[in-house]
């Protein structure tokens, strides 16, 4: 019996949904960053679908994208909630990181092994691939793994625990900074340079770069949010 082929129509439908969800995500992103939707505001899928004149599927996809960027938290039984984006909180978090992380790197860098460098370079490659693919959800995770690996030999467990918590707190801020401020290329370059300086034994220069790197991320994010809130 001869089999007949059928055109793959669902692919067109998927592309259409992605296009609509991207437009919805952009509209919601602007409303969140402008302060129109304040922290804690509940984003109801059915109300948003009605407002935008679309089905709930692209709205759900848009909310998942915003969650990956750190602008929204999807909580059980509550749905999507607008995240808190406090410039004062950002300033404190990144000031603490800029203070503690160079100290940890100074102690840890001379003890990094060949295996450590192999993993660091592997993270850099994966990081670049995920940036190009715009897999926002992985950016903060890889950033945390990269930084914690650099500090693993510091032999300062309390400081390491504090920094691990700070990096977790900064995860969504990092994703916002990379995806919305155009910081991807600089982040790639500075991460690669940190590894090179440590491998070359230029620990002082690496610590100086690390401090500037952390401070820049915090400043660019604060400036971006303040500019959007004033617009």
The pTM is what?
0.72
Residue 83 confidence (pLDDT) = 83
Name which residue leads in pLDDT, 130 or 7.
Answer: 130
Residue 119 confidence (pLDDT) = 97
Residue 19 confidence (pLDDT) = 85
CA distances from 212 to 7, 126, 191 (A): 54, 23, 12
Residue closest to 63 by CA, chosen among 26, 19, 98: 26
Task: Show Cβ contacts of residue 151 under 8 Å, excluding neighbours closer than 6 positions.
Answer: 101, 104, 105, 108, 160, 163
Residue 3 confidence (pLDDT) = 37
Query: pLDDT class for 224, splitting at 50, 70, 90?
Result: confident
Averaged pLDDT for residues 204-228: 91
Name which residue leads in pLDDT, 207 or 19.
Answer: 207
- Please check whether residue 75 is in contact with residue 90, taking contact to mean a CB–CB distance below 8 angstroms: no
* Model confidence at 177: pLDDT above 80: no
As a whole number of angstroms, the distance between CA 198 and CA 106 comes to 9
- Please check whether residue 82 is in contact with residue 40, taking contact to mean a CB–CB distance below 8 angstroms: yes
* Model confidence at 164: pLDDT above 50: yes
As a whole number of angstroms, the distance between CA 29 and CA 167 comes to 23
As a whole number of angstroms, the distance between CA 225 and CA 231 comes to 10
As a whole number of angstroms, the distance between CA 43 and CA 24 comes to 12
Query: pLDDT class for 178, splitting at 50, 70, 90?
Result: confident
pLDDT tens track for 57-97:
999 999 998 887 778 889 888 889 998 778 888 999 999 99
- Please provide the average confidence, as pLDDT, over all residues in the chain: 86
Residue closest to 133 by CA, chosen among 68, 200, 50, 84: 68
Helix, strand, or coil (residue 43): strand
pLDDT tens track for 4-57:
333 343 434 444 566 889 899 989 987 887 667 878 899 999 999 999 999 999
* Model confidence at 166: pLDDT above 80: yes
């Amino acid at each position: 019996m001869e089999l007949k082929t059928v055109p793959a129509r669902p692919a067109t439908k998927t592309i259409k949904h992605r296009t609509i969800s991207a437009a919805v995500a952009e509209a919601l992103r602007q409303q969140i960053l402008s302060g129109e939707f304040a922290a804690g505001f509940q984003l109801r899928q059915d109300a948003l679908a009605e407002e935008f004149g679309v089905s709930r599927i692209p709205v759900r996809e848009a909310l998942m994208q915003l969650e990956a960027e750190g602008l929204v938290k999807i909580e059980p039984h509550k749905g999507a909630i607008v995240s808190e984006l406090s410039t004062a909180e950002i300033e404190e978090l990144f000031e603490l990181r800029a203070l503690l992380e160079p100290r940890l790197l100074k102690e840890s860098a001379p003890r990094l092994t060949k295996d450590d460098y192999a993993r660091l370079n592997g993270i850099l490659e994966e990081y670049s691939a995920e940036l190009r693919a715009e897999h926002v959800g992985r950016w903060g995770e890889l950033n945390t793994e990269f930084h914690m690996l650099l500090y693993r030999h510091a032999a300062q467990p309390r400081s390491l625990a504090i920094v691990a918590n700070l990096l977790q707190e900064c995860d969504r801020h990092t994703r916002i900074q990379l995806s919305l401020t155009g910081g991807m290329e600089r982040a790639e370059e500075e991460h690669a340079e940190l590894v090179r300086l440590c491998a070359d034994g230029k620990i002082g220069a690496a610590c100086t770069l690390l401090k500037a790197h952390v401070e820049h991320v915090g400043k660019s994010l604060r400036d971006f949010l303040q500019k959007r809130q004033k617009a």
